[in-house]
Amino acid sequence: MNINDTPSHFGKQHAGQVLNWIPTDTEENYHKHCQRLEYQEYIKAKGWDNSNSITYRINSLGYRGDEFDFKKPCLVALGCSFSVGIGLPESDVWPWRLGKALNLPVVNLSWGGYSADTCFRLAEYFLPRLNVELCVMTTPPKDRIEMLVNNKEFEVFMPQSESRWFNPEDIYLKNWMTHEENSRLNNLKNTLALEMLCSKHRIPCQIYSAFEFFARSREEVEYARDYMHAGPLGHRLATEKILNDLT
């Protein structure tokens, strides 16, 4: 499959690369956090204490992980930064933990900054083309909304976000973001749409809130190298929850 034939998404610019850093897991943040002894001891215990400890393998379509096999039965993961595993090795992130437990290759369609709109848009394209055994989504924060801003690019808007496309006087966006009910309904519509899409293609589907999974204290979920996202413990607990629900 040609990358130009697949939907627009943030990771396309890195297709075919192996990255040492991605936002918010940047080298600058790493060195800043390393000035604290607690952080130094933690990342050393995890084996992340050099700049090459964690890498991001981006496949030819711009997604983290192996190349997609469109014929082989697979697990599809949808979500944002928590699900792509910012600041963590692949093996610590819930999609790969779950794939290993189920003996399924992983198609991880997640990326940092995604909205529920993005997740559904990518699912609509990929689910009918893949041989999906199971689809699991951890929904991104509700207050994100995605829009097509020109003929081929999508942009995710969120409160206080900076965007070359955002006009502070835009009445639609201003009203949309002012009222939390818009976010709730948009998130609900996307999750129901994904459930219907999976039902249409007879794909088992599990949907969870990334916020409920991972937005906990560092004692409960540990932390990733970027000191912002949940660590290996949080992903292990999330995987156990999904597996329990499946059985």
The CATH number assigned to the domain holding 138 equals 3.40.50
Average pLDDT on 79-83 reads: 96
Of 5-19, 108-122, 142-156, the poorest mean pLDDT is in: 142-156
Angle at 228 (CA atoms; ends 181, 190), nearest 5 degrees: 30
With contact defined as beta carbons under 8 Å apart, do 214 and 230 qualify? yes
Distance (Å, whole) CA 175 – CA 156: 16
Most confident of 41-55, 123-137, 148-162, 172-186: 123-137
CA gap 108, 88 in Å, rounded: 14
Ramachandran category for residue 245: left, alpha or beta (phi over 0 → left; psi -120 to 50 → alpha): alpha
What is the pLDDT confidence band of residue 158, given thresholds at 50, 70 and 90? confident
Please compute Rg for the chain using Cα positions: 18
Which helix (H) or strand (E) element contains residue 133? Answer: strand 131-139
Number of domains in the chain: 1
User: Domain range for residue 117?
Assistant: 3-246
| CA distance linking residue 77 with residue 73, whole number of Å | 13
pLDDT recorded at residue 93: 98
Highest mean pLDDT of the ranges 7-11, 96-100, 178-182: 96-100
Supply the pLDDT for residue 164.
59
pLDDT at 66 over 90: yes
Q: What percent of the chain has pLDDT over 70?
A: 96
Which two structure tokens, joined as six digits, stand for 223? 């932390």
CA-to-CA distance for 114 and 245, rounded, in angstroms? 25
Q: How many CA atoms lie within 13 A of 177 on its CB side?
A: 18
Instruction: Answer yes or no: is pLDDT of 44 > 60.
Output: yes
